Chains A and B, each alone.
Chain A
Amino acid sequence: MSGPRLDIAIAGKRFDFLPEPLLERFELMVEPSSVVALVGPSGVGKSTLLRMVGGIDRLFSGNISVDGTPAAAAPPAGFVFQDARLLPWLTANDNIRAVRPQTTEAEAIEMLGRVGLSGFEHYFPHELSGGMQRRVALARAFSVNPRLLLLDEPFVSLDRTLVREMEEVLFGLIAASRPTVLLVTHLPEDAAMLADRAIVLSGRPARIAADYRFDIPRGQRSREQREAIANQIAASVGTGEHQLP
C-alpha cells in the first residue's frame, strides 16, 4: 500500500475578518507516501490549509487534488484534529465506526489494538485519559483512510512523555501502511522526529519560507541529528528566510 500524491494550487483564500488574503498563489506538491510537516507561527494558515486539503473548508479559489481527484470528491482523509474530538456519547469502538459505517466491530477492535488500546473498546471518552483519547482519534483516522493522514497539531497540550508515546504509535502505523501524511505543527521538534520533509510557512499571504528534505530516514535519526534539524527549522520560523539544508 502507498499514499496518494497531493497537488495544491490555491489561487486565493480569504477570511472576511482579515484585510489580506491568508493564502494567495500558493503551490505545493506532496509526493506519495511522504511525511510532510507544515511548520510556522500561529495564525499563518497551516490549519486552514489542512482543512482545505481535508475538504472541510471549500471556500477558496484554486485546486487541490488527491491523486488527480479534486480533494472534495476524493475519499475522506484520516483527519486528526487538535483535540481528540471524540463523540462523548459513543464508546471508543463506536467512535471509530461512527465515521465509517463499513468498519466492522472486529476491525474497530483490531484498530484500537494497533494503537495500544486493546480492552478499552467499550470505554466512553470520559473514562479514558487525554493520551488515550488522542490514540482513539488516531485509530479513527486510520480506519477511515490508511493512505492519507492529515494531522492538525496532534500533540498539542500533551506532555512530552505522551507525545513520545503518540509518536511511537504513529511510527508503527506509518511504517505498516506507508500513507501520505501532512502534519501541521508549530513545534520544530515534532517535524524533526516524524517528517521526511518540512515546509516552513510565514507571512501574509503565507508563502513557503523554507522547504527542507531530510536525508536521514525518520526513526534512524539520533537525538543530536533531531536537534540539529529542529534548530534549522526553528531558525527559519524565526526569521522567515529561505534556507537550504
Chain B
Amino acid sequence: MLAAWQILAMLFPSRLFPTPIDVGAHVWTLATTGKLLPDLGKTLTRAVIAFVIAMALGTAIGIGLGRSRVADRLFSAWVVVGLNVPAIVIAIVLYIWLGLTEFALILAVVLNKLPLVIATIREGVRSFDPAYDDLGRAFRMPFLRQLRLIAVPQLMPFVLAAARTGLSLIWKIVLVFEVLGSDGGVGFRISVFFQFFDIKGIFAYTTAFILVVFVFEYLILRPLERRVLKWRQPR
C-alpha cells in the first residue's frame, strides 16, 4: 500500500498529494520543532480521562441494569436514546451550556461512550450462568470471593469488548470535538491545517495518531486480552 502510494504520488506530484516519505519526514519535523507532541499529549489525556470515567460509570450502571429488571425498565429507553443521539449534538449542547471548556469536552465524550458501555455490560451480566451461583451457595463462598472468582471472570470478555469498541469511538469523537472547540490537541491542529489546505500536516498528524492507536492496541489491549482470556478454548 505504502509503495503504491509512493509511486502514485511520484507520478502525479502535487502539494495536495504528498509521498509517504515526505509525510514521515514531516512527522519528525513536527515532533522535534512543532507542536505535535504537546498536541498528542492533550488529545491522549482527554481520551484517557473520558475512557476511564465512561468505563467505570458504564460498568457500574450496566451491572445495575443487568441485575435489576425494574431499573432496566426505567432506564433502558434512555440507553437507546444515548446510543442513537448524534455525538455532535451532545457536544454542541454542552459547549453552549458549559462554554468551550475542557470539562465540557470530556463530559461530551463520556456521554457519547457511556451508553455503549452500559449496553455491553448489561448483556454480559444477563449472560451470567446461574449454575455458578449454586456453586457459590453450595460451598458458602463469601460475597467478595464470588464476585472475584465467579462474576468478574464472566464479565471480563464483555468489559474488554466495551473497552475496544469504546476506545475506537473515543479516538474519533475526541478529535471531532477538538475541531469543534478546543485550545489544542490533534483535532484542533488538523482543523488549522484544513484552513491552509495543508494536506502534509494533516497526514503527518494522522500518522502520528495512528501510531499511538497501534501502541494502545498491541502493547496494552491485546496482551491484556491474552492474559485475561487465556483460559478460553482455542477455536
Contact = CB atoms under 8 A, between A and B. Distances in A.
B138 A54 contact: yes
Tell me the interface secondary structure of chain B in the complex.
Answer: helix
Interface string A66-98: 000000000011010101010111100000001
A85 B131 contact: yes
Interface string B121-159: 000000000011011011111000100011001000000
Given A85-B131, A89-B231, A55 B138 contact: yes
Interface of A: 51, 54-56, 76-77, 79, 81, 83, 85, 87-90, 98-101, 124, 126, 144
A76 B149 contact: no
Given A87-B135, A100-B139, 12 more contacts: A54-B138, A79-B139, A81-B135, A85-B131, A85-B135, A88-B231, A88-B232, A99-B135, A99-B141, A124-B231, A126-B233, A144-B139
A55 B140 contact: yes
A76 B139 CA distance: 5
Contacts of A77: 138
Interface of B: 131-132, 134-135, 137-141, 145, 149-150, 153, 231-233
A87 B141 CA distance: 13
Contact of A76 (B140, B150, B153, B231): B140
Nearest to A75: B140
Contacts of A98: 141, 145, 149
Nearest to A76: B140
A85 B233 contact: no
Given A88-B231, A90-B231, A79 B149 contact: no
A77 B139 CA distance: 7
Nearest to A79: B138
Contacts of B132: 85, 87
